[in-house]
Amino acid sequence: MTRREAAKLIGASTAGLILPIGAARAQTKSESSTILKRAIPASGEKLPVIGLGTWSVFDVDLTPDKQASLGEVLSLFVKHGGKLIDSSPMYGRAEGVIGELGGKLHLRDALFIATKVWTTGKEAGIVQMEHSMARFQTKRIDLMQVHNLVDVETQMASLREWKTKGRIRYTGITHSQARGFYEVERIMRSQKPDFVQINYSLMEPGAAQRILPLAQELHMAVIINRPFGGGGLFGRVAAKSLPPWAAEIDCQSWAQFFLKWIIAHPAVTCTIPATNNPRHLEDNMQGGIGRLPDAKMRQRMVQFVSSL
């Protein structure tokens, strides 16, 4: 990353911030020992800012070992205040794994289930959503999203019908690459979903230019995927120590550093790092606790990472 790219990154990462500089630092650690929650604009319901992604890591056969490790991840997620877990039919066996473990561990009522419809045609979409409900072992899903905008107008019409019937609670759209931002913006304006899910991180800050401000303008909740840039951020900081000043935002690991930078943007409702590792899960959850960086600190974080 060049200095010019870093400058662009700083500009994108601070766009849309509404918190006054220093406001986040005014909050002391003692004032916030539990995970931060943000309201869903459509209802006022609050969600913890750290959720759980399931792509790849939950697409497994539930052998006794996998059942034990993933069960521990889910249990720790709920224990530490987590709620939103995100999946998709695209993620292979993930929906069924969540449904089975959630049932066995009696965690279903503690989870906010977010999944997706990922097909073309009205009837095909309905069949796929029915299958998702069966895999989750539930009669109602909290958030149904149109995955990567596939046949989005058709599927959004079905989502609105299902919301009216009480089969889902919220509607949403998703994308995970910057090339889709223009179409995401168009659909946000025309379809007005309750949620938009988009990629945003220190490596992929483009959503801050238009998507995040538009979500604030249209009163939409925002879920952030790829919070670690598809793992690329960890490659950048490999074998590097956190800067001492990271302690000013109660940050004890690189994962927390990356997550706090994201959730400091006021448009962000929740971010969904994916993991099947209990230790990593606990580390991620700490990213939603304590002080957050203000605008000046976020610029400093960008400059530091870009210099590595």
- Backbone dihedral region of 85: left (phi > 0), alpha (psi from -120 to 50 degrees) or beta? beta
In DSSP notation, 145-174 reads: EEGGGTTHHHHHHHHHHHHHHTSEEEEEEE
Domain that holds residue 106: 3-306
pLDDT surpassing 60 at residue 161: yes
192 burial (CB, 10 Å; 0-12 / 13-18 / 19+) is middle
Q: Report residue 13 as tokens.
A: 């990462």
Q: In which residue are the tokens 């224990």 written?
A: 79
116 burial (CB, 10 Å; 0-12 / 13-18 / 19+) is buried
Bridge-based pairing of strands 46-48 and 37-39 is antiparallel
pTM comes to 0.89
CB 106 within 8 A of CB 132: no
CB 193 within 8 A of CB 168: no
CATH number at residue 190: 3.20.20.100
Q: Say how far apart CA 292 and CA 251 lie, in whole Å.
A: 9
- Residue of higher predicted confidence among 6 and 160: 160
The C-alpha torsion from 278 through 283 and 288 to 291, rounded to 10°, is: 160
Q: Say how far apart CA 227 and CA 217 lie, in whole Å.
A: 23
Element (H, E) at 211: helix 211-218
Over residues 107-159, the pLDDT tens digits come to 999 999 999 999 999 999 999 999 999 999 999 999 999 999 999 999 999 99
CB 50 within 8 A of CB 270: yes
Number of domains present in the structure of the chain? 1
Q: List all residues 6 or more positions away from 103 whose beta carbon is below 8 Å from its beta carbon.
A: 137
Question: Which pLDDT belongs to residue 33?
Answer: 81
Arithmetic mean of pLDDT, 204-217: 97
Question: Which pLDDT belongs to residue 32?
Answer: 57
Query: Could you give the 3-state DSSP secondary structure of residue 305?
Result: helix
pLDDT surpassing 60 at residue 22: no
Q: Using a pLDDT cut of 90, give the percent of the chain over it.
A: 88
Sheet arrangement for strand 221-225? 52-53, 84-86, 112-117, 141-146, 168-174, 195-199, 221-225, 270-271
